[in-house]
C-alpha cells in the first residue's frame, strides 16, 4: 500500500480511537454523575480524563514508532548509502521488500547505482581501447623516424612515402583523441559513425600498403591476397575499419607464433598458453 494512502488511514484510525474513547468517557460521566450540577472542569471529572490522556499518549507513541521505523529509518539508511556509493568496488544492492514509495525509491537507487557502475566500466574500457589504439600508430611513427634517422641515403621518393605515412598516422591519432574527447564530454555524434560506400580493392590495397612499411621495420614481410574485383564495394566506416586492421596487425605481431605447415602460414595465439588454437591469416604475415 502506498504511503499517501497508508498514512491518512493510520491517522484516521487513531483519530477514531481517540474520539471513541472521549465518547465513552462522556457517556460514563453523564450516566454516573447525572444530573451534573457543576462544570466538567471540576476536579472529580478531570480525574476521569486520565484514561483518555493515557490512550492519547499511547496513540502518539505508536505514531512515533511507526514513523521512525517505517519512514525515518529507511530514509536515513538510504542517505547513508548515498555517501558510500563506490563505482570501483560496488557494494551489494539495498534490499527492502516494500511496495510503497520508499520501496520504489530503493529500487530506483539500485538502478541508478548500477548505471553508474556500467558508465564507469564503459569509460574504463574506452580509455583502455584508446590507449591500445594509440600504441600502434605511435610505434609506427617511432619506427619511421628511426628509419629516416639511421638511413640517410634513402631515395627521396621513399623518404616522401615515409613522411606521408607519418602524417597519416598523426592525423589518425588526432582523430582518436577527438573521439575520446567527445566520449568524455558525452557528445559523441552518431554522424561520425555513418558508413559510406568504398571500393573494396582500393581500401584493402591502401591498408596493405600502409602497414607494409610498418611491418618491414620489424623485419616482417607482408603478403596480401584477396579475391575482390573492381566492381565489389563495401559500405563501412573507413576510420573504424582501419582501427580494426591496425589492432589485428598489432596483436598478430605481439601475441602470435608464426609457423609453416605444408606451405600454409598458421598463427598460434600465445595468449592461450599454446593450447593449439590455430587460425589461417587472411593477410598472411610472413617472416
Asked if 221 contacts 286 with a C-beta cutoff of 8 angstroms, the reply is yes
Cβ partners under 8 Å of residue 6, min gap 6:
100
Cβ partners under 8 Å of residue 7, min gap 6:
none
**Verdict on whether the full-model pTM lies above 0.85:** no
Share of the chain above pLDDT 70, in %: 71
Residue 106 has a CB neighbour count (10 Å cut-off) of: 20
Asked if 45 contacts 29 with a C-beta cutoff of 8 angstroms, the reply is yes
* DSSP-assigned states of every residue in 184-253: HTT---GGGG--EEEEHHHHHHHHHHHHHHHHHTTT-EEEE-----TT-EEEE-HHHHHHHHHHHHHHHH
Q: Where are the alpha helices (DSSP H) in 33-100?
A: 43-46, 50-67, 73-82
Task: Tell me what pLDDT residue 40 has.
Answer: 56
pLDDT digits (tens, 9 = 90+) for 125-141: 877 877 777 887 888 78
pLDDT digits (tens, 9 = 90+) for 40-62: 566 666 666 677 777 777 878 88
Give the cell for residue 28.
460514563
Task: Tell me what pLDDT residue 3 has.
Answer: 61
Closest among 285, 151, 128 to 218, alpha carbons compared: 285
The stretches in the chain having pLDDT less than 70 are 1-6, 29-30, 32-49, 179, 182-193, 213, 217-218, 253-287
Rounded Cα–Cα distance for residues 275 and 252 (Å):
16
Amino acid at each position: 500500500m502506498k504511503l499517501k494512502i497508508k498514512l491518512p488511514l493510520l491517522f484516521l484510525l487513531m483519530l477514531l480511537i481517540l474520539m471513541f474513547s472521549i465518547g465513552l468517557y462522556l457517556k460514563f460521566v453523564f450516566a454516573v454523575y447525572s444530573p451534573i450540577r457543576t462544570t466538567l472542569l471540576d476536579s472529580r471529572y478531570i480525574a476521569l480524563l486520565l484514561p483518555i490522556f493515557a490512550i492519547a499518549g499511547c496513540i502518539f507513541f505508536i505514531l512515533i514508532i511507526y514513523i521512525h521505523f517505517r519512514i525515518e529509518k529507511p530514509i536515513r539508511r538510504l542517505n547513508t548509502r548515498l555517501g558510500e556509493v563506490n563505482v570501483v568496488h560496488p557494494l551489494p544492492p539495498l534490499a527492502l521488500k516494500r511496495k510503497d514509495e520508499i520501496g520504489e525509491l530503493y529500487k530506483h537507487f539500485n538502478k541508478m547505482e548500477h548505471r553508474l557502475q556500467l558508465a564507469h566500466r564503459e569509460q574504463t574500457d574506452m580509455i583502455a581501447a584508446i590507449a591500445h589504439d594509440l600504441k600502434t600508430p605511435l610505434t609506427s611513427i617511432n619506427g619511421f623516424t628511426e628509419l629516416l634517422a639511421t638511413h640517410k641515403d634513402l631515395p627521396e621518393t621513399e623518404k616522401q612515402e615515409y613522411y606521408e605515412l607519418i602524417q597519416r598516422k598523426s592525423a589518425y591519432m588526432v582523430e582518436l583523441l577527438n573521439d575520446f574527447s567527445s566520449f568524455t564530454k558525452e557528445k559523441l555524434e552518431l554522424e561520425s559513425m555513418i558508413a559510406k560506400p568504398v571500393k573494396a580493392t582500393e581500401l584493402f590495397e591502401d591498408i596493405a600498403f600502409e602497414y607494409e612499411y610498418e611491418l618491414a621495420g620489424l623485419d616482417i614481410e607482408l603478403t596480401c591476397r584477396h579475391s575482390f574485383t573492381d566492381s565489389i564495394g563495401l559500405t563501412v566506416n573507413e576510420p573504424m575499419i582501419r582501427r580494426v586492421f591496425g589492432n589485428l596487425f598489432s596483436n598478430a605481431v605481439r601475441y602470435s607464433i608464426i609457423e609453416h605447415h605444408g606451405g600454409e602460414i598458421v598463427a598460434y595465439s600465445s595468449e592461450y598458453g599454446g593450447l593449439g588454437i590455430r587460425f589461417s591469416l587472411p593477410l598472411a604475415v610472413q617472416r
